[in-house]
Amino acid sequence: MKEIRFHKTHEATVTKSGNKSNEHGVWEIKDGQVLGNTAAVVSDNKLLKELSYEFTDQTQKHSIFSQIVLGKRFRLEGNVLLLADQFSATGNLMHWSIDWLPRLAVIREKYPNFDEVDWIVAHRPTTKYNEYLFDQLALPIDKIVWADFKTNIDAETLIVPSPIHLQGDPPKWAVDYVKDTLSPNQTSPEKDPSRIYISRERARSRKVQPTAEFEALIEKYGFQKIILEDLDPIQQIQLFQSTEAIIAPHGAGLTHLIHCRRGTKVLELFSSAYAYICYANIAKTLDLDYRHIVVDSKVRTTVPFEPFSTNNGHPELSKLMSDNIELTETRDWDSLNEFLETL
């Protein structure tokens, strides 16, 4: 068996809600391998489950076991830092920010300037926000090897930060690290609206319907519709820094809650088919005034889905996530009005 060592860092012990502490730190694996787009970690031809996370908790279904073609294997000598993973492979704003970025906090404690790192395996940024994130990190670009579906790397010593959390519940130090890393130094040159509605009208899923009636109602309470795609990353962050109230359907744009001031009012809108608690947890961590509305889903599946569960391995997850949020019942409108009346 190849040598595998684990080094705790200062942030290694994180206690969650009275549960047993989770240990975080840096793994060093002699002659470790990195395979595929989600950067599966292999040692002695064995998949290391804890370091090869995918959006299913069933190891036997890991994508690496069904991948037919990999690129030609090549060797990287020296210390090879693995930053590619399932989270950064998605390109999703939330996964890049909340799931992936805190792993850098653990790495930077042991390798603050990357002086002892010879290579960095990472996913190439695919959006303006991810490019902004990469710029803020100031990674040594000349050391980066970009990961993709054909990745097939042998490393003399593979360095892997352990995952920080896998259940949509990041510890406070991780949220603070993301906030400190991404917050721009300059303030917004113009006054941002104090009440905003984050629209998903350009998204393929989770749109609020009926659109006209909904937007007419919230406009009476001073909410201004915002399409985040029209703003650059700094403008998006500054918007959330200055607002006092937010209404939004569940979606990656709510990642920016990490930049809100304490006490900011938040209303998240869900379809009952897919009601995931990651932003509720962030809001609780930062002491935001968070509430939610769950409306009945029009999607029907063969396998029941429990709202607010953390079962990312649900077999029909993509179908459930595509459901729109239809405010059709009287109680849905009553819940919305109740929130608006408290502002």
For 190-207, write each residue's pLDDT tens digit. Answer: 677 799 999 999 888 888
pLDDT band at 227 (very low <50, low <70, confident <90, very high): very high
Could you tell me the residue ranges of all domains in the chain? 4-174, 195-341
Read off the pTM.
Answer: 0.85
220 token code pair? 């009476």
Q: Which CATH architecture has domain 195-341?
A: 3-Layer(aba) Sandwich (3.40)
Q: What is the pLDDT of residue 295?
A: 86
Is residue 337 within 8 A of residue 293, CB to CB? The reply is: no
- Please give the distance of CA 106 from its chain centroid, rounded to a whole number: 17
User: 103-130 b/e with 16+ CB inside 10 Å = b?
Assistant: bbbbbbbbbeebeebbbbbbbebeeebb
- Cα separation, 308 vs 125, in Å, equals 30
155 token code pair? 């490393």
Residue 61 has pLDDT above 80, yes or no: no
Strands, sheet with 265-271, edge to edge from the N-terminal-most edge strand: 224-226, 195-198, 245-249, 265-271, 289-295
Q: What is the pLDDT of residue 15?
A: 32
The mean pLDDT of 37-59, rounded to a whole number, is: 83
The packing angle between helices 211-219 and 330-341, to 10°, is: 20
The mean pLDDT of 158-164, rounded to a whole number, is: 90
Amino acid at 158: L
Q: What is the pLDDT of residue 106?
A: 87
68 token code pair? 């037919």
pLDDT band at 165 (very low <50, low <70, confident <90, very high): confident
Amino acid at 112: P
Q: What is the pLDDT of residue 166?
A: 64
